Structure 1
Amino acid sequence: MKSRGIMLLVVAGLLGSMTLAAQAETVEVIMQKYSFQPQELRIKAGDSIRWVNREKRQFHSVLFPGQAESDYLFPGDTFEKAFPAPGVYPYHCGPHPEMTGTVHVD
């Protein structure tokens, strides 16, 4: 009886750790010096990206072709977007189109 209880605890622990491994992640992209850092990244379907403006004075935005532009992000502001489907997603800063990035979703 005692070994059965231990076995149930082990199985419950394994199932709990499997649930944690399947959770979506959030990856940060820094907006600084008129660039996205990293400029290109790879994530899994279901993950999110959080863009953080680390400039001292400049505002930026995140704009994916065919989608609405994010609000302007002033220093310290953030914007988060989930990527539910695999694909390649190029984007740029609305006010500064030379600021570009690409998200690869597996």
Structure 2
Amino acid sequence: MFQATLAGGLLVLGLSAPLQAADVIVEISDYRFKPAEVRIRPGDTVTWLNREKRTSHSVLLEGTGEESERFFPDEKWSRAFPQAGRFEYHCGPHPEMKGVVIVGD
């Protein structure tokens, strides 16, 4: 992307790098999402990492019903969030486990 500025009467053209998408990690341990709330920018990705010793979990997005496959200890699941919004979720097999992804501009 080009960026133009006026410096001392001269037009200076430069390149500015686009923002890189981030990958945010949510660990699952003790039957909780840690952190339970994450705030990201549109285009960022959230990766859930199962740190339990024996239990499988999933991520079920409440607004859409989209659910990951169950993932076992030391496995992970990722999802990009291209648009702003509030995305509440819980674990499919353990609905008492709750979290939220807040995507803002």
**TM-score band, normalised by shorter chain:** 0.7 to 0.9
Counterpart of 2:103 in structure 1: which amino acid? V
Give the unaligned 5+ runs of structure 1.
Answer: 1-10
State the Cα distance separating 1:41 from its structure 2 match: 1.1
Give the unaligned 5+ runs of structure 2.
Answer: 1-11
User: 1: CA distance between counterparts of 2:50 and 2:66?
Assistant: 19
Q: What is the TM-score normalised by the length of structure 2? A: 0.81
| Residues 1:41 and 2:41 are matched in the alignment | no
Counting strand residues as a fraction of each chain, which structure ranks higher? 2
Partner of 2:82: 84
Counterpart of 2:73 in structure 1: which amino acid? P
Identity of aligned residues (%): 48
Aligned 1:51-62 pairs, distance under 5 A: 51-62=48-59
Q: What is the TM-score normalised by the length of structure 1? A: 0.81
SS of the counterpart of 1:81?
Answer: strand
SS of the counterpart of 1:52?
Answer: strand
Superposed structure 1 runs of 4+ greater than 6 Å apart: none
Counting helix residues as a fraction of each chain, which structure ranks higher? 1
The alignment covers a number of residue pairs equal to: 92
| Residues 1:63 and 2:63 are matched in the alignment | no
